[in-house]
Amino acid sequence: MSKEKLIVLVGAGGKMGRRITPNLIQFGYDFVCSEKDGPGIAALEERGLRAMATEDAVKIADIVVLALPDAAIPALSKRLVPLLRPGASAP
């Protein structure tokens, strides 16, 4: 994966997202955090990161990573996939 691609990490302030963000930072990836939960947003801010609205972030993403509970992925995917730019991926 090219480090020039913009990654959007949905759920960045949750359990899984908090494990992924340090690696994205350490390896120099260009990424945007997306989080809707108040405590998750606070956790990101404590690390000096800012959360962007999910719908806005997905529209500019090259790659979308869903760091969410499995049960939340189907409904959110239905809402977000139509917003993806042509050529973007959600592995």
Say which CATH number the domain at 18 has.
Answer: 3.40.50.720
Q: Domain total for the chain?
A: 1
In a domain, 1, yes or no: no
* pLDDT over 90 (residue 35): yes
In a domain, 11, yes or no: yes
Structural domain containing residue 68: 7-83
In a domain, 91, yes or no: no
Residue 86 DSSP code? T
In a domain, 90, yes or no: no
Task: Report, as an integer, the average pLDDT of 48-65.
Answer: 95
Residues 53, 58, 60, 63: is their CA dihedral positive or negative?
positive
- Position 91 confidence tier, pLDDT thresholds 50, 70, 90: low
- Position 89 confidence tier, pLDDT thresholds 50, 70, 90: confident
In a domain, 50, yes or no: yes
Task: Report, as an integer, the average pLDDT of 34-43.
Answer: 93
In a domain, 45, yes or no: yes
**Separation between Cα atoms, residue 9 and residue 20, nearest integer Å:** 9
Average confidence score pLDDT of the chain: 92
Q: Name the pairing type of β-strands 7-10 and 63-66.
A: parallel
Task: Report, as an integer, the average pLDDT of 33-59.
Answer: 94
